[in-house]
Structure 1
Amino acid sequence: MSQKQYKSPLHEMVNTTKTDFWNDSCSIAELEYALEYGAVGATTNPVIVGEVLKKEMHLYEDRIKEMIQEMPNATEDDIAWKLNEEMAVAGAKLLMPIYEVSKGQKGRISIQTNTKYYRDPELILEQAVGFHTLAPNVQVKMPVTKAGVKAVEEATYQGVSINATVSFTVPQALAVAEAVERGLKRREAEGKDTSLMHPVCTIMLGRIDDWLKFVADRDGIILDPACLEWAGVAIMKNAYKIYKEKGYRTQLLAAAYRNHHQWSELIGADMSLTIPHKWIKRFNHSDIKVENRIDQPVDTKIIEKLTQKLPDFIKAYEPNGMTVEEFDSFGAVNKTLLQFLGGYDDLVSMIRKYMVIVK
C-alpha cells in the first residue's frame, strides 16, 4: 500500500508500525469513527460516561427511564453502574471482531472500577471480577494505589485482563508489571490458561505534565515552559525502555493528551495510545510525518532541568522514585482521584434527575 492510500496519519501508523490506538470514549458514534481509521480498543470511566451522556442523552434517556422501572428497588448508584455496564457492552460488541482475529490481544473495551474503592483491594477485586463476566473482551480498569496494586495481582490471577489507571510514573508502571507477572505465574503454576489475557498499564502523560505545571506555579519555580511539555513523554519513554529490558507481558498505554508529542514521539512503540475524539481528529488532519520516534531519547538538557527544578519529576521518572506505599500521597494521584470522584458524583446526579422528579 502506498502512502497516498492511507486515510490519515493514524491509519498509516497502525498499518506501518507496531503502535495501536484506542478511542478514549464509549460513545458509539466516536468509536465507529475511530474504527474507520484503525482503532483497536476503547475505554470508559465515570468522567467519560458523564461526558457522553451530556452530548448524547437523547440516545440514553429512554433506557435510563426503563431501568428505573425494571429495577424498582435500585438506588441511583445501581442505575448509574448498570448504565455504565451497558455502554461498555455495546462498545464491546463493535470491537469483538478485532478481539477474535487477534485472539484476545486487541479489540477490548475498558470499564473502570468504582473510584471510591481506591483504598480497599477486596472491593476493587470483587467489582473487577464482576465486570470480567460482562463480555469476553472487557478489560477492567483499577487505580495504581497501594490497594490497587494488590488488586491487580489478584484480578490477574483470577483471569481478568486489567488496565491499570490513575498512573503517571515509572515506579507505578513497574509495580503494575510486577504484580501482573506474579498473577500470571500463579495461574500458570496451576495450569490455568493465560493465552487470551492482555494486561495493560496506562501512563497519563498529560496529567503528569499538568501536575508538574501546577507544582511549578504553586512553588514559584522558573523553568523553561517547553520542558514541561516533555515530562510525560520522557517518563513514558523511560518506562517503555525498562519494560522491554525486563520482558514484561503488560503493554503500556499512553493517555491524557495535551500536545502532539504525546502521540508523535511514541510512534513505533509496541504500545497502545488511548486518544480522545478531538485529538483523533486533530491527528488525522495533521501533516506530522509518521516515523519511528520511540527510540529517540528526550533531550538530556530537558531531563536535567526537570530534575534540578522539580523533585516530583524525579519521583515520576526514576524507577525507584517512589515506593508502593507512597503512591497514595503523590499529587497527581490525589488530583485525578478527586476528579474521578467528582465525575462519578456528576453522573449520579444526572441519573437522580430521572428518579426524583419534582412536579
Structure 2
Amino acid sequence: MKATQQLHELGQSLWLDNITRTMLDDGTLARYIADFSVTGLTSNPSIFEAAMAEGDAYDDGIKAKSQAGLSGEALFTELALEDLRRAAKLFKPVFDATKQVDGWVSMEVSPLLAADTAGSLEAARLIHDQGNCPNLFVKIPGTPEGVPAIEEAIFAGIPINVTLLFSCQQYLAVAEAYMRGIERRIAAGLDPKVGSVASVFVSRWDVASNKQLPPELHNKLGIAVCQQTYRAYRELLASPRWQKLAAAGAQPQRLLLASTGTKDPSASDTLYISALAAPDTIDTMPEKTLLALADHGQLHGVMPTDGGDADATLAQITKAGVDIEALALKLQQDGAQAFVKSWHQLLQRLSDKVGSLGAAKA
C-alpha cells in the first residue's frame, strides 16, 4: 500500500500545496485525487505567480477579462477563483461524504492586508461572496492584526484557513479566536458549523535555525514545534469548553501542517511527512513531495498526542542559542513580507501579460 493511502486511512488528509490551470486542463489533479488520496488543496500568491509564469494557459482568460474591464487585483482574483471553483468541484464528493470536514480549496486575501484587521475582514467577505463556493476557505494570516479578523469572519459564517502560524502560542491564539467566533454564533442563534483550519508551517523553522545548531539538532526544530502544537490541539479538543461547542454542532478547527517540503538536500525528501503523521489533521505538501511520498515514502508511526520528546528537543535547541519565541515572530513577519513580494510580482506579471496580449479595454 502506498504511503499516501496509509496516511489517508490513518485519518490524515493529504492536500496539494499547488494549483495551476494546466493541471486542471490535463487531468493531473484528478489523477492525484484518484491515485494519491489527495482530498484538498491550498494556494498562495507565490503559487499563482509561478502558475501564471508558465506557458499560455491563462492567456485567453487574461485577454477576455481585461477586455471586459478587469485589471490588477480584480483580474487576478477572478482568474484564481476560476481555477479554485474547478478544483472545488473535483473535491465536492469528498466534501459531501465527510460532512464538510474535508475536500476544501483555499484562496488568500491580499498579503498587503496582513496588518489591517478591518481590511482583512472586508477582503474575506468579498472573496467568500465572489467565490460562491461551499468548499472554499478564505486564508487570513494569523498575525496579531489577523486574529480579530479571524474571529469576526467566523462569526460572519465565512470558512477560514488561518495561515502563517509558526508556534504553539500563535496556534492557540487563533484557536481561541475560532472558539469565540463560534460561541458568539451560538449566542446569536446561528448555526455553529463553520469550517476552519489552522496552518502551522514546518520547514521554515529549520531553514532559519540549522546554521545556528550543531548537526545532531538539524531539522529537529520544525518537527518539535509541531509535536508541541499537536499536543495543544489534542488537549483543546478534549477540553470541556470545546466539548460543549461540539455538542452544539460545531466542527473542530483542524490542525494543518504546512510547508512540509524538505529544504535540506542532505535530509530525506519525505522527512516531515513521515514525522508528522497524525489522525484528524491535514498535511499540505508541494507536488514534488507528494510524488516522492507516493513513490518511496515510508511512515514511522504516529505523532504522539503527549508531544513525545518535543519539550526535551526544544530545551536543547534553546540551550544551543536559538530564541524560539523571537524566531517564531520573525518567521511570521518574514513570511508575510515574502507574500507581499510575490503579490507585487504577480500583479506585475499580469500587467505585462495584458500588455503583450494587447488585451486592455480600449
TM bucket by the smaller chain? 0.7 to 0.9
Residue 354 of structure 1 deviates from its aligned partner by 2.5
Identity of aligned residues (%): 25
Contact 2:167 2:200 in 1 (8 A): yes
Instruction: Confirm or deny: 8 A CA contact 1:23 1:30 kept in the other structure.
Output: no
Cα offset, 1:63, TM superposition = 0.9
1:314 Cα deviation after fit? 4.5
Match of 2:15 in 1: 22
CA distance in 2, matches of 1:347, 1:282: 28
| AA partner of residue 266 (structure 1) | L
Partner amino acid for 2:39? V
Equivalents in 1 of 2:357, 2:311: separation in Å? Answer: 61
TM-score (norm 1): 0.86
Letter in 1 for 2:14: F
1:355: Cα distance to partner?
2.4
* Matching residue within 292, 296, 306 for 2:302: 292
Q: 1:143 to 1:302 in 2, by over 3 A?
A: same
Residue by residue, what CA displacement relative to the aligned partner does 1:29-59 show, whole Å, maximum 9, x if unpaired?
A: 553233121111111111011122233x322
Aligned-partner Cα distance in 2 for 1:289–1:180: 32
Between the aligned partners of 1:91 and 1:252, the Cα distance in structure 2 is 22
Provide the C-alpha distance between the structure 2 equivalents of 1:83 and 1:312, rounded to a whole number of angstroms: 41
Q: Which amino acid aligns with 2:77?
A: W
Counterpart of 2:176, as a letter, is E
Counterparts of 1:241 and 1:179, CA distance in 2:
19
User: Whole-Å Cα distance in 1 between the matches of residues 97 and 320 of structure 2?
Assistant: 48
Distance 1:157 1:300 in 2: 35
Flag structure 2 segments of 5+ consecutive residues without an equivalent: 243-251, 263-268
Runs of 4 or more, structure 1, over 6 Å off, are none
Instruction: Give 1:284 shift.
Output: 0.8
- Is the partner of 1:356 in helix, strand or coil? helix
Offset, 1:211: 2.4
TM-score (norm 2): 0.85
1:95-128 CA-partner distances (Å, limit 9, x unpaired):
1111111121111101111000011111111111
Distance across 1 between alignment mates of 2:108 and 2:331: 18
Q: Which amino acid aligns with 2:97?
A: V
User: What pairs with 1:1-359 in structure 2 (closer than 5 Å)?
Assistant: 6=1, 8-15=2-9, 17-27=10-20, 28=24, 29-36=27-34, 37-55=36-54, 57-71=55-69, 74-133=70-129, 134=131, 135-195=133-193, 197-213=194-210, 217=211, 221=212, 223-247=213-237, 249-257=252-260, 258=262, 259-289=269-299, 291-295=301-305, 297-298=308-309, 302-314=313-325, 330-357=329-356
Q: Report the CA distance between 1:315 and its aligned residue.
A: 5.1
Give the number of equivalent residue pairs: 329
CA contact 1:132–1:140 (8 Å) conserved in 2: yes
Once residues 296 and 340 of structure 2 are traced to their aligned partners in structure 1, the CA distance between those partners, rounded to angstroms, is 34
Structure 1 pair 314–121 and aligned structure 2 pair: CA distance change class (3 A): closer
Instruction: Confirm or deny: 8 A CA contact 2:142 2:162 kept in the other structure.
Output: yes
- 1:342 to 1:190, Cα distance in 2 relative to 1, 3 A: same
Give the letter for the 2:220 counterpart. Answer: W
Residue-by-residue CA offset, 1:240-291 (whole Å, 9 max, x unaligned) = 1111112253211011122533111221332000011100001111151463
Q: For 1:277, give the aligned amino acid.
A: E
CA distance in 2: counterparts of 1:310 and 1:52, whole angstroms: 39
Distance 1:120 1:98, change over 3 A: same
Unaligned runs of 5+ in 1: 1-5, 317-326
**Aligned mates of 1:158, 1:229 — CA distance in 2:** 40
